Structure 1
Amino acid sequence: MAQQGATLYAQGSAERGVQACANCHGPGGQGLNPIYPSIAGQPASYVEAQLLLWRDGTRQNDVYSVMGTLVRRMTDENIRAASAYAAGLAP
């Protein structure tokens, strides 16, 4: 799972149409600007919960629905793996 999380974070998944997390949140998870917040060191359970809220449409505070669109293409395993990887990034 660690390898899957690292791959999703750094490269995304072309087969699922998911861009890399690093494209917006930065290679170290620090966020690239205020629109794309830092996720480094957030608890995996928190990141996973937020991704699930975007996927089911409960969370909608993304102006262009980038997160909602991407996370609907992710499997539960993808979400767990990416969340675990982000949690391991140093804040």
Structure 2
Amino acid sequence: MSQAYLSLKQRALEHQHLLGSKPRVRVGTAMCGLAAGARAVVEAFRRELEAQRIDGLVSEVGCLGLCYAEPLVDIQTSVGSRVLYHNVTPDQVPS
């Protein structure tokens, strides 16, 4: 394998390790998600993490192929378990 590939792989693994230690919230913000209100859901999660002083990441991701269930939210805990929620609204975020 080339040195460039090995270097890139090492950087990716280090980045993944850093991200893996924090809770992550991924919100589908493709056109279908945006049309269903995903932008407000993203902002609600950012406010809630800040209000609760949780050092987590909120990411906007593309379409997961379940347009009928948007906004979709994928929550990954600091230990790595994940749960996918559908039809999320901003008022549900604090729950």
* Structure of larger gyration radius: 2
More strand per residue: 1 or 2?
Answer: 2
